[in-house]
């Protein structure tokens, strides 16, 4: 870069210049940047001004500093404030798993097992550092670049939390919490308004693996469901289907999922067992886990885009002054979030686990009006089973029906941690004497839902027989 160019280019911390925008979300924008000294490419995160109360980037900085140096997490370079924006500079990574899923529509079993093994190991490392992620989803799981093209990374710690202090003291269990996370992949505990822990990260990972295997999840497609209702309805479906979610997959998945669901809040997950079961699934089907994914073999085909950032333009953005720089960032931030149309589709209760129709590969689905009416009646009448346990249902902080986050922080309390950890206050005993365990509560809710569906179907049958007699 010659002196004339350098004088026109805004540099953060006298070291990092913006090259171009990479991605955006409800909390800010991520730019491709460059270290003007070492010429190394970096990722620059710029937080939106309206999120000052939330301070999600401040939280992410704290978490990344805790994780810095651990394998599978982006390296921290610098953070600070410039032009009124919070800035974070971290290691530049490759494409996220959502990118590859969009290309392929679903992944083969080898790729899913590889993601699962790496994902469990990543969560174990984060948990060993005292950090829970709390918003696991494909967009937050990225691959490296260059020699690390097959290495999985976890990113985006804006709503992560420290679950234990330096002495190893665990945060306390609480209920009546506001929903936190991404509805599609959130744990059942999140829907019930419980404090999240290590087990909930693993549960979210299992939903992601099922999503990759099948191409969609049973609770994605609901008709006539508002944003306010959707979080509740999804929670109810997860709860009612938990014993059969993986019935069309290799048995190891259901075994792992069931073991995670049985964990108590403070109980340490058996990460080694989970990895062993995933490897066992591979061995039983003669699948060699060599670290490679299916897209590595086909990325040269014409329909598959390049999966690294190496082809990004290196033409630097030129600015005459700081005001011009600020206006450019404001323009990027103001247009960062695009809400696509919500395509809530119908799926009857009998077909929640049916493979997605072939037409879904082209984002079109066949509708069944008869089943539609029956499904809607069931969904609306199941109603308050989960609501009775958690009356504080709210939109997700990172609700993501179509791939981009919705900016729905309705009030400050909806982001439930003013600090990244909270070891104070009154603890609710999770399984104390004279109290029901959470597992017993789950079972009661499930039995209620299942009994209601049975009674509804029986009632429909009686009505049908009466009409035939007439």
Options 135, 156, 201, 416, the catalytic residue: 135
Question: Which residues in 98-123 are b (16+ Cβ under 10 Å) and which e?
Answer: bbbbebbebbebbbbbbbbbbbbbbb
Task: Show the tokens assigned to 331.
Answer: 């323009």
> How long, in residues, is the chain?
470
Per the annotation, the verdict on 135 as an active-site residue is yes
Q: How many angstroms separate the CA atoms of 174 and 282, rounded?
A: 38
Instruction: With beta carbons less than 8 A apart as the criterion, state whether 89 and 178 touch.
Output: no
User: Is 165 within 8 Å of 130 (Cβ atoms)?
Assistant: yes
Sheet containing 76-82: give its strands across.
11-12, 16-25, 28-35, 41-47, 85-91, 76-82
CA-CA-CA-CA dihedral for 246, 176, 134, 361, to nearest 10:
40
Cα–Cα distances (Å) from 52 to 23, 155, 409, 419, in that order, read 20, 21, 12, 14
Closest by CA to 178, choosing from 399, 449, 385, is: 399
Report the sign of the C-alpha dihedral through residues 187, 25, 58, 13, in that order: positive
Closest CA to 236 of 458, 466, 453: 453
CA distance 209 to 215: 10
Beta strand segments in 263-388, E: none
Put residue 425 in one of left, alpha, beta given phi > 0 → left and psi -120 to 50 → alpha: left
**Residue 141 neighbours by CB distance under 10 Å:** 22
8 A C-beta contact, residue 216 and residue 351 = no
Specify whether the CB–CB gap between 64 and 126 falls below 8 A.
Answer: no
CA 88 to chain centre: 21
Which residues are known catalytic residues? 135
């Amino acid at each position: 870069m010659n002196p004339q160019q350098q004088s026109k280019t805004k540099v953060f911390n006298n070291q990092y210049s913006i090259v171009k925008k990479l991605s955006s979300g409800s909390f800010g924008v991520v730019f491709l940047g460059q270290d003007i000294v070492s010429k190394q490419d970096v990722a620059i995160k710029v937080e939106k001004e309206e999120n000052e109360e939330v301070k999600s980037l401040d939280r992410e900085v704290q978490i990344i500093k805790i994780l810095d140096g651990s394998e599978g997490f982006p390296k921290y370079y610098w953070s600070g404030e410039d032009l009124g924006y919070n800035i974070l500079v971290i290691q530049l990574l490759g494409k996220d798993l959502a990118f590859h899923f969009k290309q392929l529509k679903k992944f083969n079993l080898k790729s899913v097992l590889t993601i699962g093994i790496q994902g469990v190991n990543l969560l174990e490392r984060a948990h060993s550092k005292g950090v829970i992620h709390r918003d696991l989803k494909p967009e937050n799981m990225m691959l490296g670049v260059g020699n690390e093209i097959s290495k999985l990374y976890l990113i985006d710690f804006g709503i992560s939390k420290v679950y234990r202090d330096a002495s190893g003291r665990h945060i306390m269990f609480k209920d009546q919490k506001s929903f936190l996370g991404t509805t599609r992949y959130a744990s059942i505990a999140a829907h019930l308004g419980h404090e999240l822990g290590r087990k909930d990260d693993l549960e979210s990972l299992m939903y992601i693996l099922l999503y990759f295997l099948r191409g969609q999840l049973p609770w994605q497609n609901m008709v006539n469901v508002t944003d306010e209702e959707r979080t509740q309805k999804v929670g109810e479906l997860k709860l009612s289907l938990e014993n059969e979610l993986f019935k069309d997959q290799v048995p190891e998945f259901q075994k792992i999922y069931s073991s995670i669901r049985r964990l108590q809040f403070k109980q340490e997950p058996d990460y080694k067992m989970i990895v062993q079961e995933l490897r066992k699934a591979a061995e039983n089907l003669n699948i060699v886990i060599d670290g490679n994914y299916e897209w590595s073999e086909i990325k040269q085909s014409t329909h598959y885009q390049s999966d690294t950032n190496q082809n990004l333009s290196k033409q630097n953005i030129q600015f005459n002054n700081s005001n011009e720089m600020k206006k450019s960032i404001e323009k990027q931030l103001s247009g960062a979030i695009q809400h696509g149309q919500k395509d809530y589709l119908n799926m009857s209760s009998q077909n929640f686990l049916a493979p997605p129709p072939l037409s879904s590969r082209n984002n079109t689905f066949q509708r069944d009006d008869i089943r539609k009416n029956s499904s809607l009646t069931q969904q609306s009448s199941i109603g308050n089973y989960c609501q009775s346990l958690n009356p504080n249902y709210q939109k997700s902080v990172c609700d993501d029906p179509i791939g981009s986050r919705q900016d729905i922080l309705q009030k400050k309390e909806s982001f439930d941690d003013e600090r990244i950890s909270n070891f104070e206050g009154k603890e609710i005993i999770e399984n104390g004497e004279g109290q029901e365990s959470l597992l017993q509560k789950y079972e009661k809710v499930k039995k209620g839902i299942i009994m209601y569906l049975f009674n509804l179907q029986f009632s429909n049958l009686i009505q049908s027989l009466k009409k035939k007699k007439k």
